[in-house]
Structure 1
Amino acid sequence: MSKPDTPLAIDDLTLFAERVARLPPADAEWVGALLAEVLRARRHETDLLAMQAASEHAASEHAASEHGEHLDDQLAQVALDTAEWLRTLWDVGYMGAGSFRSAPRSAFPSIDLDDVTKSSLFARIRQGKHALPFPPPTRNGRPWHDVLDDAGTTHEVVAEVIRDEDGRSFAAIIEGCAEWQVVEETRENRQFVVQHDGKGPRYRLHLPSAGSAELRREPPALSCPLRQQERGGFHSHSLLWQRDDGSTQVVALRAATWERAVAEAEHWLASHHPEVYGQVRFVRE
């Protein structure tokens, strides 16, 4: 329970909503009405604070617009300092933070300013997106996150299909990346379904008789329900994943909105079932 001068947390209000249902009918009616009024007041307060924060943010953006490049330099320097700190831990075994020394490790990557400014993974994290738990495809040696994120884009690519001694297609080299696997040859010597390293979305690769090849992400072939529940004015979401044995696994998602629930469900798939990541369409139960 919070102190008198401290606002109640959302979890406390949700708990109260559950307890109201267990009160006698005569008490539940007026207590429920009072709690509903408290929730409305809390939402109104949240809206006012959001408006105030937006106003202050706009003012701070205007004041900082002349120093935008300097701010980016500061962020890059923080990343460089952090990388140096971690490199020291691996190479020397010294944290410099009052921690005990540990055995030095090796092969920690060398990171410089170009790595920070050109890293697509760093940019992805700064955009608020989850880092993938597996390496993405590469394009000319650099991570190619766009091919994973842009579901409706057709990419012009340089591609070559590799065949075995019996003439069966089994792999492809796309934009210099040799980790693509051929799942199916749908049209002889012309169209293939491919997947990168057995993980992530599947794509249709079209090899014309002349000109650039085309790579386009396949639409999801599987569907999975997301369950939304409302309790005390708050929404929660869970993923209902069907296991191979026919049982259903219920996965709680840290999300209050449908869009966030889909993002969390996709991240769970990428972490636990990367072979079908990007191939599942989420539907409301």
Structure 2
Amino acid sequence: MSKSDIPLGIDELTHFAERIARLPPADAEWVDALLAEVLRARRHETDLLAMQAASKHAANEHGENLNDQLAQVALDTAEWLRTLWEVGYMGAGSFRSAPRSAFPSIDLDDVRKSSLFARIRQGKHALPFPPPTRNGRPWHDVLDETEATHQVAAEIVRDEDGLALAAIIEGCAEWNVVEETQGNSQFIVQHEGKGPRYRLSLPDSGGAELRREPPALACPLRQQERGGFHSHWLHWQRDDGSTLEVPLRAATWERAVAEAEHWLAMHHPEVYGQVRFVRQDAC
């Protein structure tokens, strides 16, 4: 690169301004105007370079974040498809029983309307068993909302002796009647013998209501602090009276409860949602 191709530094341009003052007045006027224009162009060039550098840095950061987001979407999609295949979540009685030889076709509308995919994208565990359905679609809200009362369309199915056997709730016929608490008006129901139990109220005036029952069981969660960090264990009592200690991958109480509930869903789905966890400090 020749010397004429090398841009002048700001110090050199400033030195020119001092030399212009020694020129004859007729020349100094137009040379000063030319130098002022050069300085404006140089400042504009500097601003453009700074903007380009900032844009490039922001683009790199956005690209890294976008890559992380795309990677998480890919992981969540894999978990969604795995759950569809292994558990069967399509609802309305379809794609529910193994063995399966062909995966169902899935289009964009299925992705947008999938409550399971939305649940996984929110960072929640996919249940190891199909949830109840509402009008043919998985109904996760009824599992997650512990205090809500749901207005439902429901009816009781009885045998020839009048014993309540099952309930059809929001078009789902897979609800079991656990107990009839008030003749023909209140029932304790559970979906396929798994998950929380609910009180189904059928008043004579119509307008059935479904509300989750509070936990009837209690289980200790032990917490121990070491070096400023907490570790947690679930102490589960087996049917034979012995105790199983289950270490939980959790550093906070809230995460420990979530992990304990997930363990119950995996190993004891019949009592999932029916257990209250009691904090105990380890000795």
1:265 equivalenced with 2:260 (yes/no): yes
Matches within 5 A, 1:100-111: 106-111=101-106
1:241 is matched with 236
* 1:80–1:116 CA contact under 8 A, matched in 2: no
2:218 is matched with 223
2:150 is matched with 155
1:183 equivalenced with 2:178 (yes/no): yes
1:125 equivalenced with 2:120 (yes/no): yes
Q: Percent identity?
A: 76
> How far has the Cα of 1:77 moved from its partner?
9.3
CA distance in 2, matches of 1:283, 1:81: 35
1:214 is matched with 209
- 2:181 maps to a residue whose letter is T
CA distance in 2, matches of 1:262, 1:215: 25
CA distance in 2, matches of 1:257, 1:238: 12
CA distance in 2, matches of 1:206, 1:199: 20
Aligned length: 200
Q: Secondary structure at the match of 2:131?
A: coil
2:189 to 181, 186, 194: 194
1:169 to 164, 181, 184: 164
> How far has the Cα of 1:271 moved from its partner?
0.3
CA distance in 1, matches of 2:276, 2:73: 40
CA distance in 2, matches of 1:77, 1:226: 33
> How far has the Cα of 1:244 moved from its partner?
0.4
CA distance in 1, matches of 2:108, 2:72: 7
CA distance in 1, matches of 2:226, 2:73: 45
- 2:187 maps to a residue whose letter is F
CA distance in 2, matches of 1:234, 1:182: 45
> How far has the Cα of 1:109 moved from its partner?
1.9
* 1:80–1:113 CA contact under 8 A, matched in 2: no
CA distance in 2, matches of 1:132, 1:81: 15
User: Structure 1 length as normaliser, TM-score?
Assistant: 0.65
* 1:230–1:236 CA contact under 8 A, matched in 2: yes
What is the CA deviation profile of residues 185-237 of structure 1, one whole-angstrom value per residue up to 9, with x for unaligned ones?
Answer: 00000000000000000000000112210000000000000000112221100
CA distance in 1, matches of 2:223, 2:75: 38
- 2:138 maps to a residue whose letter is P
CA distance in 2, matches of 1:271, 1:213: 31
Is the alpha carbon distance of 1:154 and 1:238 closer, same or farther for their aligned partners in structure 2, counting shifts above 3 Å? same
Q: Secondary structure at the match of 1:245?
A: coil
Unpaired stretches in structure 2, ≥5 consecutive residues: 1-57, 83-99
Q: Secondary structure at the match of 2:103?
A: coil
> How far has the Cα of 1:106 moved from its partner?
2.7
What is the CA deviation profile of residues 105-150 of structure 1, one whole-angstrom value per residue up to 9, with x for unaligned ones?
Answer: 8321211111111110000000010000000000000000000000
2:111 is matched with 116
Is the alpha carbon distance of 1:80 and 1:135 closer, same or farther for their aligned partners in structure 2, counting shifts above 3 Å? closer
Unpaired stretches in structure 1, ≥5 consecutive residues: 1-59, 65-69, 87-104
CA distance in 2, matches of 1:135, 1:188: 30
Q: Secondary structure at the match of 2:161?
A: coil
1:141 is matched with 136
2:277 is matched with 282
* 1:79–1:116 CA contact under 8 A, matched in 2: no
1:35 is matched with none
Q: Secondary structure at the match of 2:173?
A: strand
Q: Secondary structure at the match of 2:119?
A: helix
User: Structure 2 length as normaliser, TM-score?
Assistant: 0.65
- 2:227 maps to a residue whose letter is G
Is the alpha carbon distance of 1:81 and 1:155 closer, same or farther for their aligned partners in structure 2, counting shifts above 3 Å? closer
